[in-house]
Structures are given as C-alpha cells and as structure tokens.
Amino acid sequence: MEVHHPHHAPHRKKWMEYLFEFFMLFLAVTLGFFVENQREHYIEHRREEKFIRSLVRDLEMDTASLQASILFTGKVAGYFDSLVYLMEKGNARETNELYFYARHLNRTSHFAYHDGTIMQLKNAGNLRLIRNENVKDSILVYDINIIKPLMHQQETEEYSGRTVLHGWAGKIFNGFVWNTLTDPLGSIKRPTDNPPLLSRDTALVNDFILHLVALKTSHRLGNNSRKKAMEYAGRLISLLKQAYELE
C-alpha cells in the first residue's frame, strides 16, 4: 500500500521580517560610517592641534629673533648718526671713532623667519584643518601681509649696506686698518692710534654721507616693520592659545 507523506510548504518571510533585516543592515552600515567618520574627525582635530602648537613655537622664536634684530639694527643706526656727525666735524684726532662706526657698515642682524609650520600648512593642503576662520585668516595675514614685506625690506637694507661699503667706504677708509678692527671672534674693536683716512675729498665724502643716510633710513624703516611684526606675532600667539585653550 502506497504511503503518502505530508508535504510541508516552505516558510515564507513576512514583509515585516524583510523590513527588520533591511533596517538592521542599514543600521550597521550607518553606524560603521559614523564611527569611521568620527575617527577621521578625531585624527584631523589632533593634527590641527599639533600644527597650532608647532606654530606657536615658531611664533615665539620669531618674536625673539625680531627683538634681537630691532636692538642690533637700532644700535647700528645710531652709529651711523655718530659717523655723519664726526665726518661733518672733520677732526683728524677722532678717526678712531670714524673707523669703529664705519666698520659696522657690513654688519647686520636680520630677522630669521621660522616658517616651517606655515609652509606645511600651505603647501600640503593642511590649511583646511584649521576650522577657526579667524585663526586661518590671521595666520595668512601674518605670513603674506606682515612678514613678506619685512623680508623684502631686509633685502633692501642688505643691498644698501653693500652699496655704501663697496662703492664709497673703500675710497675713504684704509683697508689695512679696516682689517685690524675685528678680534678672532669677529667682534669689532676701536683702533687706538687715530689712523688717517685715505681721502677727505669733499665731493667723495658728500656722496658717502648721502648713501649712508639712505642706509640709516632703511634700517629705521626696517625696524618699524620689525616692531609691527613683533606686535602682530604677539597678538597671534594670544589668539591661538585662547582659541585652542593652550597653556
């Protein structure tokens, strides 16, 4: 006798089950995306803070360099005032001072720009990490509107100094005496025997003084730019520390 086994129809999922499975899959993908996105934001925020801390260190080194340059350049500009005054007097018994002051014509203490962090921010596309627009704008103003003109001004100072030194100083001051005015460490010392000048020709001295005054003016304009840069750097440091709650 043939036996018939009951046939069970396959289970069909209800639409609620399909909806639940879709929801769970969607939730898993969404959470994964959210976690990864948060991780990327965390990494970028850490990189942003690292750049800011590095920038603060650069700015602090900038202010130290600016301060040293301001002090030295101001002193040298004062020497040039004294040189003009003594050249006008024409006293042959004061050439010790003339040689001493003139020997500073080729001495500079220019501001050194510590731009390592700013270059990384600009050249590698990392500027996008700076979320605070005020901070970002202030960094760019410092680099483009404050420092770049100062660097150009320093190039002008250096060129003016070379012009006076090579164009006129060698026609008035004795090169052999000039060679004795530095010690082994490079510090400038005064001669002690009032060595004579090579020339006191009125027209030559007048040309020398005109170029010397231009150099002195260039130094003082440069110091105005350095003081402006130092003030801006100080404000930028304060802004960065406040915006990122740095100590």
Q: What is the pLDDT along the chain (247 residues), one digit of tens a residue?
A: 455 555 555 555 565 665 655 666 655 555 555 544 544 554 567 888 899 999 999 999 999 999 999 999 999 999 999 999 999 998 888 899 999 999 999 888 899 999 999 999 988 788 888 889 999 999 999 999 999 999 999 999 999 999 999 999 999 999 999 999 999 998 999 999 999 999 999 999 999 999 999 999 999 999 999 999 999 999 999 999 999 988 7
Q: What is the pLDDT of residue 218?
A: 92
Burial class from Cβ neighbours inside 10 Å (0-12, 13-18, 19+) for residue 100 reads middle
- Give the pair of three-digit tokens for residue 230: 């130092």
Q: Is residue 10 part of a domain?
A: no
Q: Taking a C-beta distance cutoff of 8 angstroms, is the pair 207, 168 a contact?
A: yes
Q: Is residue 3 part of a domain?
A: no
Q: Taking a C-beta distance cutoff of 8 angstroms, is the pair 84, 209 a contact?
A: yes
Residue 94 DSSP symbol: G
CA dist 102 and 241 (Å) reads: 44
Angle between helices 202-243 and 15-89 (to 10 degrees): 150
Domain total in the chain: 1
Q: What is the pLDDT of residue 36?
A: 47
Of all helices (H) and strands (E), which one includes residue 77? helix 15-89
Q: Is residue 9 part of a domain?
A: no
Angle between helices 202-243 and 133-140 (to 10 degrees): 170
Q: Is residue 135 part of a domain?
A: yes
CA-to-CA dists, residue 86 to 80, 112, 172, 176, angstroms: 10, 33, 14, 21
Segments forming the whole domain that contains residue 83: 15-243
Q: Is residue 46 part of a domain?
A: yes
**pTM of the shown model:** 0.81
Rg (CA), the chain: 35
Q: Is residue 8 part of a domain?
A: no
